[in-house]
Amino acid sequence: MVPVSQMKREDFLATFAGVYEHSPWVAERAWDQGLTTAEDTAKGLHRAMIDVVETAGREPQMSLLRAHPDLAGKLAARGDLTTDSSAEQASAGLDRCTQEEFSTLQNLNNRYKTTFNFPFIVAVRGRNVADIIENFQTRIDNDIEIEFDEARQQVHHIAALRLNALID
């Protein structure tokens, strides 16, 4: 792969626009701010993308969170997840939930979205369904600001995993 700092804009966006779920604006702004050899590594590009998100303001950040699918939700059931989300959810066994687990996740998803106005987000890679449900139950009673911060951190963690797969 051509080093990130030497990529043409269209190639950069074709490669990295999906790192943040349904939010190509993150990659666009990272490119527009200028890329140097410091962004030629997954860690360096991740730092630049985090900076884009963290300086964007609350509404773009909220839109970023809302772009994420529910875990084991309707999109997953219909097969309408992005390739990355589908693989990530499958790696945690969310595509093989028991009926009880599925029902628990649906109830938690609905309660969470009603409370926070964005979907529950957790980096599922390396977790199993029981871990995810436990994490869900632990976080669902958080204060809105704590959960808003935690959700953004989880989004950044997901992005780091995706960047590592693309670059290193």
- Structural contact between residues 140 and 115, judged by C-beta atoms closer than 8 angstroms: yes
Residue type, 106: Q
Measured distance CA(9)–CA(118) in Å, rounded: 31
Measured distance CA(153)–CA(156) in Å, rounded: 5
SS3 label, residue 115: helix
Measured distance CA(33)–CA(162) in Å, rounded: 21
19 closest CA partner among 68, 59, 63: 68
Sign of the alpha-carbon torsion through 54, 58, 64, 65: positive
Q: Is 157 a catalytic residue?
A: no
Pick the catalytic residue from 46, 68, 156, 157: 68
Catalytic residues: 68
